[in-house]
Chains A and B, each alone.
Chain A
Amino acid sequence: MLRISVVLGLLAVSCAGNTPSQDLTPVTFMAGFTPQANLPFVGVYVADSLGYFTEAGLDVTIEHSGGGSEHLQLLAAGEVDVTTQDAAVMLERRADPGLPLVSIGLIGQKGQQAFVALEESGIEAPSDWAGRTVGFKGTPPPDLFAILDAVGVDAADVELVNVGFDPRALTEGQVDVYPVFKSNEPDTLEGMGFDLNMWEAADYGAPTLGLAYVATETMTSTEPETLSAFMGAVIRGLRYAEEQPAETIDIVMTHVGEGGDAEHQRFILDTELADAHSALTDTHGLGWQTTEQWQELRDFLITYGALPEPVDVVDAFTTEFLPSLDGAG
């Protein structure tokens, strides 16, 4: 009888270990774009796949935005708990229309925007852009004007064209200089057989920043334990991605789906991993951010008219939820 009780007890314990606990805290994460190896997405994919979220007491639902701004609307409306957003756009949306967004982990220590020209075009440096056609996606970014300023080219001397998101605008000669996300289109263009010259604003002194995990002020004040658990799990996921990139791409591909290009995803991962590190993250760990970084970005955006007015950056970010370097939380 005692033996049967012990077996039943062990079975009960075993079953409890295999099924999600009723105590898991539900969290909805919405990636700011379709599935791909953008680093903040990767942290979530890995944490979900390897059970880091469950270990942290979270039941995370992963969703993806179509690429517009709906993820920020849903976050502000409380339908989503955490999303991702480029740091500059996050500041702009804090200023107008006043979304209560807070960066809880700055994964991209450098911005991902860059500009490329075909090597065969003879454009060797931004000083050669004068008299050329330069593309932009939607609106001309501050990065573009920062580069022009740095090399002494008047913006009036380049023809600016809205090229959308199709890099064939470059290969078909519609523009001489094309705006890229450096972890994405350069690989596509080089895969098509084109050699490129590439420039990014950070190399010309612009204090650019990349993608961040973003929550609302309400969430950071009411759910600090949940956010700490979330950030602990995703940073753990990112560390795994650095140590096991091949296995990480296998996980990413389960989200990208059939027809995805694993090599292209690896390019995205490697490029964004390189930009996730800085002197700050070497000292404090992945995702670290400082007032100085955000102030410099704010001043940069104001200089080029992307921010309508000075905004206080102190409330725009927090390191409260980031784990320590040793992973102790």
Chain B
Amino acid sequence: MKRGWALGSAVVLGTLLAWEMGVWLSGVEVYLVPAPSDILRALVDGVDSLAPAAGITLGEAILGLALGGALGLGIAAVITFWSQLEQGVMSLALLIKSTPVIAIAPILTIWLGRGPGPKVVVTALLTFFPVLINSLEGFRSVDPAIADWFRSVNASPRQYFAQARWPSARPFLFAALKVAGPLALIGAVVAEWVGASSGLGREMWLAYNNLNMPSLFAAVVILSLLSAAVYYLVVVTERRTVHWN
């Protein structure tokens, strides 16, 4: 385990060192490729604006993930009870899934105002689909032996859902959240990029338009760290709650 961490750290440090040397030796301008040291400096210098921006983006992402996750899980549960709805609901879900978020984010701002509303909705639109698909698969993946036992005791559909389908779906749900969690942060940033007064997306937009590449990459670093944190939070929660897997 320790050897794995050491090897991983060495790969990361080696890559950063090669990047730094590459920039230094090539003499490429900072507005084209910033060196890791430039990015680190921008992180330190910009912490007063980046930290609150990260908090805002994280808040929007969590709210959007909660909304998208609840929608995906709820719709999957409804389809489990009434399978005749599946074709219509899935067609609609696919339509939403294939709609480019960047195209609808501006109109969501017109509909929902300039507050966190459109960012939360964009995030929810991005995250509900993986939760829906995985949850549905999970609800349908009950072990045949367990399903036979519930049939033999003449369990009600509600009992079967709560005691057989739901436990079966939980590992699938966590698999979905591992994808949807980091996706939620990207959704929030995309929505902020289109038009916001705060947040990491706004910081990135400003840095990009000012050709301040170190600040842009500094915001990307924070976004990556947040994504990793959300991912590992899901992993830890899964380990503590899904014991048999």
Contact = CB atoms under 8 A, between A and B. Distances in A.
Contact of B205 (A138, A168, A172): A138
Interface stretch (A17-25, A67-75, A184-192, A218-226): A67-75
Contact of B195 (A93, A97, A162): A162
A162 B110 CA distance: 13
Contact of A73 (B32, B107, B205): B32
Contacts of A68: 208-209
Contact of A163 (B31, B107, B114, B213): B114
B211 A69 contact: yes
B114 A76 contact: no
Contacts of A169: 109-110, 114
Given A96-B210, A138-B209, A174-B113, A164 B29 contact: no
Interface in A156-178: 161-166, 168-169, 172, 174
A256 interface: no
Given A166-B106, A166-B110, A69 B195 contact: no
B212 interface: yes
- Number of chain A interface residues as a range: 20 to 34
Contacts of B205: 138
A138 B206 contact: yes
A97 B212 contact: yes
A230 B107 CA distance: 41
A92 B30 CA distance: 16
Nearest to A162: B197
A174 B114 CA distance: 8
A73 B209 CA distance: 11
Nearest to B111: A172
Nearest to A137: B195
Contacts of A164: 106, 109, 194-195
Nearest to A166: B106
Given A138-B206, A164-B195, A174 B110 contact: yes
Contacts of B31: 73, 76, 97-99
A139 B205 CA distance: 10
Contacts of B208: 68-69
B211 A93 contact: yes
Contacts of B113: 174
B206 to A, nearest CB: 7
Contacts of B110: 166, 168-169, 172, 174
Contacts of A168: 110
Contacts of A162: 114, 195-197, 202
Nearest to B195: A164
Contacts of B206: 138-139
Contacts of A174: 110, 113-114
Given A98-B31, A164-B106, A166-B106, 4 more contacts: A72-B211, A139-B206, A161-B114, A166-B110
Question: Closest 4 interchain pairs by CB?
Answer: A164-B195, A97-B31, A162-B197, A168-B110
